[in-house]
Amino acid sequence: MTGKLRCLALLLLTVACDRTARTVAHERQLAAPVAAQMVQVPADFADASGTARDGNAASITLPGATDVLPNLIIRSGTASLQVDSLERAVALVRALARRVGGFVGSSTAQAGKGQLHSAMLEIRMPAEHFEDTVDGLRMIGKIETVNVTAEDVGEEYVDVQARMTNDRRLEARLIDLLAHRTGKLADVLDVERELARVREEIERYEGRLRYLRSRAAVSTLSLSVHEPIPVVDEGSPGVMGEAVRDAWRNFIAVLALLIQSLGVIIPLGVVAGAGWLVVRRFRRPPGTATA
């Protein structure tokens, strides 16, 4: 029983120390940007190493001069380009991507009969060559629209990194507890479960850091390329087309009139035929003898 209480007390102490370390790290992260903003030294009194000099040439290290957030910015954008020839423009875009050290990730195109010739291209390039890629589009065609977004993830990167460091310290303590275990089997299993949870968090933090680094290192530009839209004048149709349409309308009108007149012609024809048969039966030619 004493061994179990000792093990649980040690575990609680470990968790408490870990929370204290996280709190201190978080306060340092919040204090660093504030300290960097509060320090404003004229250029005449500051050198390139981040130190200030007074009249007695005494060097003073500026607080926060080295404790700054990493510059991690995820840049992406969309652009629309009008070109004279779609095939030539797509080839030039691929060449531009290779020239800036990138590549065309995915592309779709339509160039069928009666369709607007256009294509969608996704260019992925190193982040430092994003502006060069956008400027290179001006040599391919007419830029219609450009939208660029920039997301600063430096603060998130530092926070995740600090959490991962604290979890690694906790992992080391838990491993030390397992190496010098003196309690019962249930206590050992509790420590192992806590160790597995901490390692899972560490793996999740490592994956997030890799994702942020990769997204900040590679920028994406979604490009829409199309040929000029053809202008069709629908207000002045051709003379022959209008004549054909008028002739078709007249034919339909005459056919409809003929169908309507059948309602009168057929009954009159039946009556006339019946009267002619009656007259022919009772009117015989002269000189015809009766039998």
In a domain, 244, yes or no: no
Query: What number of other Cβ atoms are within 10 A of residue 269's Cβ?
Result: 11
Specify the length of the chain in residues.
Answer: 291
Q: Mean pLDDT throughout 55-61?
A: 38
Is residue 223 over pLDDT 90? yes
Q: pLDDT-derived band of residue 259, with 50, 70 and 90 as boundaries?
A: confident
H or E element, residue 60: strand 59-61
pLDDT tens per residue across span 79-90: 999 999 889 999
In a domain, 61, yes or no: no
Is residue 237 over pLDDT 70? no
Query: What number of other Cβ atoms are within 10 A of residue 71's Cβ?
Result: 8
In a domain, 111, yes or no: yes
Q: Mean pLDDT throughout 66-83?
A: 78
Backbone angle region of 287, left / alpha / beta, with phi > 0 → left and psi within -120 to 50 → alpha: left
Which residues form the domain of 154? 69-229
Is residue 12 over pLDDT 60? no
How far, in Å, CA of 170 to CA of 166, rounded?
Answer: 6
Is residue 291 over pLDDT 80? no
In a domain, 224, yes or no: yes
In a domain, 143, yes or no: yes
Backbone angle region of 57, left / alpha / beta, with phi > 0 → left and psi within -120 to 50 → alpha: left
Q: At what angle do helices 154-179 and 2-38 cross, to 10 degrees?
A: 160
Choose among 93, 86, 77, 87: nearest CA to 145.
77
Max CA pair span of the chain: 165
Contacts of 156 (CB under 8 A, 6+ apart): 212
Distances (CA, A) of 197 to 46, 108, 157, 192, 215: 48, 44, 21, 9, 27
- pTM for the complete prediction? 0.50
pLDDT tens per residue across span 130-189: 999 999 999 999 999 999 999 989 889 999 999 999 999 999 998 888 887 766 778 788
In a domain, 182, yes or no: yes
In a domain, 168, yes or no: yes
**How many CA atoms does the CB half-sphere of 272 hold within 13 Å?**
6
How far, in Å, CA of 21 to CA of 16, rounded?
Answer: 9
In a domain, 206, yes or no: yes
Count: domains in the chain: 1
Q: Which two tokens stand for residue 199?
A: 């390692």
The tokens 């430092």 sit on which residue?
128
- Residue 210 confidence (pLDDT): 92
Q: Which two tokens stand for residue 275?
A: 């009267």
